[in-house]
Amino acid sequence: MNTPDHESTTMSTALGRTDDATRRTPAEPPAIREPRHVPLAHVVRGGAIEGVHHGSVVVLAADGRVAFQTGDIDVAFYPRSALKPVQAVALLRAGLPLDGELLSLTAASHSGQPRHLDGARRILDRAGLTEDDLRNTPDLPYGAAERDAWLRDGGEPTRLAQNCSGKHAAMLLTAQLRGWPLRDYLDPAHPLQRVIAETVADLTGQGIARVSVDGCGAPLFSVSLRGLATAAARIASGAMDTPEGRVAAALRAHPDMASGTDRDVARLMRAVPGLIAKDGFEGVQIAALPDGRAVAVKIADGADRARMPVTAAALAHCGIDPGALAEFATTPVYGGGAAVGGVHPTDVLAQPTPDPLFPGTKEDRTP
């Protein structure tokens, strides 16, 4: 799948997305090949390196230039749920009438707390629909505490409890308001998914390399790490009256609705004023600041324990106060119930000589 065709472009113009003078023309899709990842994190136990997590990182300056990169930032990959803020922008462009906590939930991989389930119901209620209309994969709550409580109460997997139910409810509300079919809203050929595909290409600045299916059943679009960081930067720096700015505002104001009270992504957004952040399965993370500085991380083996330490090291290249990142800098490794080591970023992520793009970086540093 390359650039959106004439029909979907015409449709988005009708939705008022942008005019011909400002519409971005996506570049060619990223290449599909074996990624050239590099060591990003060491698993240290008792002073010895027990394991190594490979991956890739890109840091963008406020003007969109690459300020730091390591690994393979231009190969095609699937962003998984880190793409949800982009999907939320697409739904707003298609007419979704949500802001605030319900818009944050639209971009969420929620933990399954009561307010998350209630929020998804509220979105469905606006469309006159129920959980039975959802087409996402039934699952248990994503949060460990929420899942344990659910099972203790005899709960079984449901579509509402699944972590993407806010997004799916918002997709249904958008389709219902547009008069589009509801039963096949996850079909890549559905008008709703065509708007989402176009928005992915627009915000990432590149064509879509492949289309697959995410764990929740929604279409999943393959882009590059550079493209994903570009999309995050455009959302974080969007004007308040644009779909991008509305999504950013919702995430900043309601980080717990986009994840969960104790989730590391919510804590990171609370720790760094103005930051938006979203995680994704298989070791993906984005984070971006209001001036357009942004990072994107991919851990090759999908290990979640390496995701946040590597993200914190990448954010240090944005000049963020190290004190604000301290709690994210390592993931403990336990032995006998006590911490005996940790997951630490490798030297490849060490801050280089200061660069005028912003403090603590050096442009296009590739070890």
What number of residues does the chain have? 367
pLDDT digits (tens, 9 = 90+) for 195-219: 999 999 999 999 999 999 999 999 9
Which residue in this structure is represented by tokens 């984005």?
A: 286
Place of tokens 């986009």: 258
User: Alpha-carbon distance 282 to 53, whole Å?
Assistant: 12
- The CA distance from 272 to 265, in Å, is 11
pLDDT at 10 over 50: no
Mean per-residue pLDDT for 12-16? 36
Task: Report the alpha-carbon distance of residue 299 to residue 307 in Å, rounded.
Answer: 6
pTM of the model: 0.90
Give the Cα separation of 232 and 137 in Å (integer): 27
pLDDT tens figures, 131-178? 999 999 999 999 999 999 999 999 999 999 999 999 999 999 999 999
354, pLDDT greater than 80? no
Q: Which residues contact 326 (CB under 8 A, 6 or more apart)?
A: none
Higher pLDDT, 1 or 27: 27
Mean pLDDT of 322-334: 96
Determine the Cα–Cα distance for residues 267 and 263; give it in Å rounded to an integer.
6
Neighbour count for residue 135 (Cβ, 10 Å): 17
pLDDT value of residue 364: 41
pLDDT at residue 297 in the model? 98
Instruction: Write the pLDDT tens digit of every residue in 221-243.
Output: 999 999 999 999 999 999 999 99
Dig out the tokens for 329 from the structure. 């800098």
pLDDT band for position 357 (50/70/90)? very low
pLDDT band at 353 (very low <50, low <70, confident <90, very high): very low
Read off the tokens for 336. 């006998």
pLDDT tens per residue across span 89-103: 999 999 999 999 999
Q: What is the mean pLDDT of the chain?
A: 91
- DSSP result, 128-184: T--GGG--SPPB--SSHHHHHHHHHTT---BTTTSTTHHHHHHHHHHHHHHT--STT
Kindly state the average pLDDT of the residues 191-198: 98
pLDDT band of 17, cuts 50, 70, 90: very low
Which residue bears the tokens 């080591």? Answer: 341
